[in-house]
Structure 1
Amino acid sequence: MKRILQFISLVGLLMTILPPIFFFLRKISHSVQNLLMLLGAVIWFGSAIFWLGSKAKTEET
């Protein structure tokens, strides 16, 4: 489950990084860039909170 959440987080992170590059190259419009970055941020924060910063379970003896 953690790997799935990490993959979803990576997709969200890419959705915040790639749109400005595509906008700079004039492949997408400004409104599409804003929409993709907003969705990417929501996906990133929505999925990363469940796995980021969690420590591995260890046995206490």
Structure 2
Amino acid sequence: MNHIAKLVSLITLGLVIGPCLLHLTGTIGLDTVKVAALGGTVGWFIATPIWMGRKLPVDASEVEI
């Protein structure tokens, strides 16, 4: 599951960066960039916390914040 989440995170990051570069070269229009970047951003924020999660220390349940 961790490897799949990393792969999805990398693909969605490419959906943010790739269309921007293509728009810079004049290959695709701005509306396409907006849709792809929005989809990539949402996907990245969903997939990345799955594999970047950290384990809490043993005594974390005893600490009150």
Shorter-chain TM-score: what band? 0.7 to 0.9
> Displaced runs of 4+ in structure 1, greater than 2 A?
none
Aligned residue pairs total 55
Larger radius of gyration: 2
Q: TM-score, normalised by structure 2?
A: 0.78
Give structure 1 stretches of 5+ with no counterpart.
56-61
Give structure 2 stretches of 5+ with no counterpart.
56-65
Sequence identity percentage: 29
Bigger helix fraction:
2
Deviation digits for residues 20-55 of structure 1 (CA, Å, limit 9, x no counterpart): 110011111000000000000001001111111435
CA RMSD, 1 decimal: 1.0
